[in-house]
Structure 1
Amino acid sequence: MKIIVILAFSMVLSVMNSTMFNVALPALRAEFELTSSQVSWVVTGYIIIYAIGSVTYGKLADRYRLKNLLTFGLLLFAVGSVLGFTASNYAMVVAGRILQSAGASVIPAASMVIPIRYVDASQRGRALGITSSGMALGTALGPIVGGLVTSFADWRYLFAISLLSLITIPFFRAYLQKDEVRNVRIDLPGGVLLALAVTLVLLAITTWSFILAVLALFMFGVCIVYIRRAPQPFIDPALFSNRAYTVTMLIACLLLVFNLCVPYLIPQLLSTVNRLSSSTIGLVMFPGALIAAIFGIIGGRIADRHGNMRLLRIAATLQLLTYGLIALFTGGSYIVIMLLLIVGNTGLTFAQIGLANAVSRTLHGTQVGVGMGMYMMLSFISGAIGTTVLGLLLDRGYDSWSPNMLFFSGQGNLFSIIFFVFMIWMALVWLFGFRQLRRS
């Protein structure tokens, strides 16, 4: 389990790096005199490369040793950090972020592959619980660290924090000794086509562009035709003929499409309805993420001892309870929201552990790397879709909505409706999911 602890530490830095720059966007916009759309590429570019890199490193893990992939990725992460730290113009900042993302995306890929290859199936839930805890902790620390650094120092020091990832390289090289190197051909053209298709999808989602959406559909059509004809395609079509894998992936995406929006939605609620400052919002959200990280380890043990289904039932109960109560108490005290986030974040962490564990059990052989990479990539795309839909709803404003049908009125009404819809959506997906997972 030593390698899992090192992996979790790397996951904290990787995820934290993706969230802490959100706080620095106003400072970047002011220093380089940018528009909101221009400065958003610091985050958007990172997400796009991160999603593509997850499946790419997953595929490469079928051909190359994990310790070498991790060494390469973390060194690239460090190069991007140095470039961003020394940036004298905005182009260098974006280039640094892209290099960071291209390197850091090896971590989510490894977090899916290492537990499968290095941990017995009877303890895999515990391993996934530890890595999921790292993800939750990184999500919690990101805005807080970003706020502290930008308050007391230059935003460039956010890049310097990421250099801590270098200390994990010797440990990865020491502990990852059991890699099986397979003589698998890497389909470069297929990888490029997939990367272009995913890029167009994420750009279409984040910019809400119909033209880009059409181009994305066309590119995916090209990918499908290519995959069917290529002798050794980047993504083996047999992966999707695996019914258990396909159904579990569908359930995961349906659950995560709105679940992953909560870290975006809650700050909007607390800022708009409760009128809290950015620093106070970070403090309100921190306990939920921290406790969820601690309980993630317990969730992994539940999966190992009592099975995935029990863990997923607990996750469903916690999520439905949280979204229903937030819908009722939106507009009330932010202390209530803080307490509910503890329950909701724990439910989300349990769901991520159970779903990743369920997906991993449907894969074998050369399907493991690219299959788990696809799981991570589709998770990012699902979150981007949900966030964009919520952004459009919030952009409509609050005056067009009727008074709150529950306890409060005014601006809290829209958020109340959103969380009520979340609860209904989750109830239906969990009902469908449990029936399908039993069959799978």
Structure 2
Amino acid sequence: MEQTKPRLSTNSHAGITITLTLAMLLAALGTSIANIALPMLAIAFSAPFAQVQAVVVAYLAALTVSVVIAGRLGDRYGLKSMLVSGLILFTVGSLLCALSPSLWLLIGSRLIQGVGAAFLMTLAMALTRQTAKDARMGQAMGLLGTVSALGTALGPALGGLLIPVTGWRGIFWVQIPLALLALILAVKMLPGDGEKGKTPSASLWSAMNRSLLPNLFINVLVAAVMMTTLVVGPFYLSLGLGLEASHVGFIMAVGPVVSILSGVPSGRIVDVLGSDRVLVIGLILLAVGAFLLAFLPNLIGIVGYILSIVVLTPGYQLFQSANNTAALADVSKDRRGTVSGILNLSRNIGLIAGASLMGGIFALGVGTGEFTTASASAIGAGMRLTFLSAGGMMLVAIAVAFGHRTSAPTSI
């Protein structure tokens, strides 16, 4: 663990915080802003939905594959240098997206943008650990969680405003000045890397320390449950409760709003109570929220769904702040990028599992994969089975967390 940190002025801390939060915002914005443009892309390129969907999938796939590589390069050549490189890559990718004359060039450009986003997401977390005071590390991690939720929520809204005025290319043009601003701030505000490149960074296997594995496993489970709400929720609200699309969108926005509001307070709670205790509290809230989703919406409808989300989402932010803080707390300086990358990889694996495996459980509960032909009661049965399974996963996570607390930690 680092014994000393360079003293930074209040203005320097503010500049660093703005830079890193903007980098995280860009990565999250890139994840969600293209979704709303898919119908227009299908028309613009005369392509079926399965093909235009690759515009979203390419970004997520590139981000997932690249997060650990980004962390390793950050440890090897310097976190600041590699974040600057990632911002350049993200900017170039955004420009190529905006100028793409064909769908396949757009998909290729999104791959470049996704690789850049991996550097932004991973190294922003590692640099937050490096520059934040130990007593406020939870608050710093909570702020990153808030900004990530804000970027994800802002994407569809911003895209919806831009597309009628600028067409689909506008959703990529708007990211370029933001990326250039982040690039300028990174060069001017972030502390230098010092001597890098002369000695190899720690091996990936050494970073996969036994004490880190529970954090990664729980991270996969929690991310899967949160993705389940995004995948199953719209089907239940529209087909199970019979809501119109506009109402579904409004209710689905409750989760991101609660996430934005609870991110920084969650981090502060971690600083006061400690990461181990808050991690368990967050998992308990996640378990309660999942079990409530299994029953309350079927009993009292929309109100039950919203109440369940209001319990579940703060639990997620408490968990994220505590888990990231705990995983990075005692990581040596030459491994912070790698561990941040591994954390993001485990989260992305969980998101993929939530979209596929939990979607399969929902179809099993409904009794058919053709949801539009299923009755409301069948959709409700699928909702119940899915979130009973999700609640069970959270109970497993709680057991793992308690087991990890009682075992002696190994210093990373």
TM-score (norm 2): 0.86
Does structure 1 residue 76 correspond to structure 2 residue 89?
Answer: yes
In 1, Cα distance between equivalents of 2:187 and 2:142: 23
Contact persistence 1:288–1:343 (CA under 8 A): no
Residues 282 and 9 (structure 1 numbering): CA distance in 2 closer, same or farther, change over 3 Å? Answer: farther
Residues 438 and 239 (structure 1 numbering): CA distance in 2 closer, same or farther, change over 3 Å? Answer: same
Of 407, 415, 423, 2:391 maps to 423
In 1, Cα distance between equivalents of 2:286 and 2:214: 21
> Could you tell me which residue of structure 1 aligns to residue 224 of structure 2?
257
Identity rate, percent: 25
Question: What is the deviation of 1:20?
Answer: 2.1
Residues 65 and 432 (structure 1 numbering): CA distance in 2 closer, same or farther, change over 3 Å? Answer: closer
> Could you tell me which residue of structure 2 aligns to residue 370 of structure 1?
338
In 2, Cα distance between equivalents of 1:342 and 1:160: 35
The amino acid of 1:263's aligned partner reads: L
In 2, Cα distance between equivalents of 1:244 and 1:399: 41
The amino acid of 1:140's aligned partner reads: A
Contact persistence 1:141–1:286 (CA under 8 A): no
In 1, Cα distance between equivalents of 2:35 and 2:72: 30
Question: What is the deviation of 1:104?
Answer: 1.8
> Could you tell me which residue of structure 2 aligns to residue 197 of structure 1?
none
In 2, Cα distance between equivalents of 1:397 and 1:22: 27
> Could you tell me which residue of structure 2 aligns to residue 238 of structure 1?
206
In 2, Cα distance between equivalents of 1:400 and 1:377: 32
> Could you tell me which residue of structure 2 aligns to residue 282 of structure 1?
249
Question: What is the deviation of 1:335?
Answer: 4.1
The amino acid of 1:128's aligned partner reads: M
Contact persistence 2:64–2:348 (CA under 8 A): yes
> Could you tell me which residue of structure 2 aligns to residue 361 of structure 1?
329
In 2, Cα distance between equivalents of 1:275 and 1:285: 14
Counting only pairs closer than 5 Å after superposition, residues 281-360 of structure 1 correspond to structure 2 as: 281-331=248-298, 332-360=300-328
Does structure 1 residue 247 correspond to structure 2 residue 214?
Answer: yes
Residues 438 and 161 (structure 1 numbering): CA distance in 2 closer, same or farther, change over 3 Å? Answer: farther
Residues 97 and 142 (structure 1 numbering): CA distance in 2 closer, same or farther, change over 3 Å? Answer: same
Residues 59 and 305 (structure 1 numbering): CA distance in 2 closer, same or farther, change over 3 Å? Answer: same
> Could you tell me which residue of structure 2 aligns to residue 170 of structure 1?
184
In 2, Cα distance between equivalents of 1:26 and 1:344: 31
> Could you tell me which residue of structure 1 aligns to residue 153 of structure 2?
140
In 2, Cα distance between equivalents of 1:98 and 1:315: 34
> Could you tell me which residue of structure 2 aligns to residue 67 of structure 1?
80
In 1, Cα distance between equivalents of 2:239 and 2:86: 39
Counting only pairs closer than 5 Å after superposition, residues 51-200 of structure 1 correspond to structure 2 as: 51-150=64-163, 153-163=166-176, 164-183=178-197
Of 223, 233, 241, 1:266 maps to 233
Q: CA RMSD in A?
A: 2.4
Residues 434 and 94 (structure 1 numbering): CA distance in 2 closer, same or farther, change over 3 Å? Answer: same
Contact persistence 1:288–1:346 (CA under 8 A): no
Residues 143 and 276 (structure 1 numbering): CA distance in 2 closer, same or farther, change over 3 Å? Answer: farther
The SS at the match of 2:332 is coil
Question: What is the deviation of 1:303?
Answer: 0.9
In 1, Cα distance between equivalents of 2:258 and 2:234: 18
Contact persistence 1:270–1:276 (CA under 8 A): yes
The amino acid of 1:388's aligned partner reads: S
Contact persistence 1:271–1:281 (CA under 8 A): yes
The SS at the match of 1:264 is helix
Larger CA deviation: 391-400 vs 41-50: 391-400
Does structure 1 residue 411 correspond to structure 2 residue 348?
Answer: no
Deviations 1:367-396 (A, max 9, x none): 222122111112112211221113334556
The amino acid of 1:145's aligned partner reads: L
Question: What is the deviation of 1:57?
Answer: 1.7
The SS at the match of 1:63 is helix
Contact persistence 1:29–1:35 (CA under 8 A): yes
Larger CA deviation: 12-21 vs 262-271: 262-271
Contact persistence 1:84–1:96 (CA under 8 A): yes
Contact persistence 2:98–2:170 (CA under 8 A): yes
Larger CA deviation: 82-91 vs 144-153: 144-153
> Could you tell me which residue of structure 1 aligns to residue 37 of structure 2?
24
In 1, Cα distance between equivalents of 2:293 and 2:217: 27
Contact persistence 2:328–2:336 (CA under 8 A): yes
Larger CA deviation: 256-265 vs 53-62: 256-265
> Could you list the runs of 5+ residues in structure 2 that have no partner in the other structure?
1-12, 370-375
Contact persistence 2:63–2:118 (CA under 8 A): yes
In 2, Cα distance between equivalents of 1:185 and 1:46: 32
The amino acid of 2:396's aligned partner reads: L
Of 351, 354, 359, 1:383 maps to 351
Aligned residues: 387
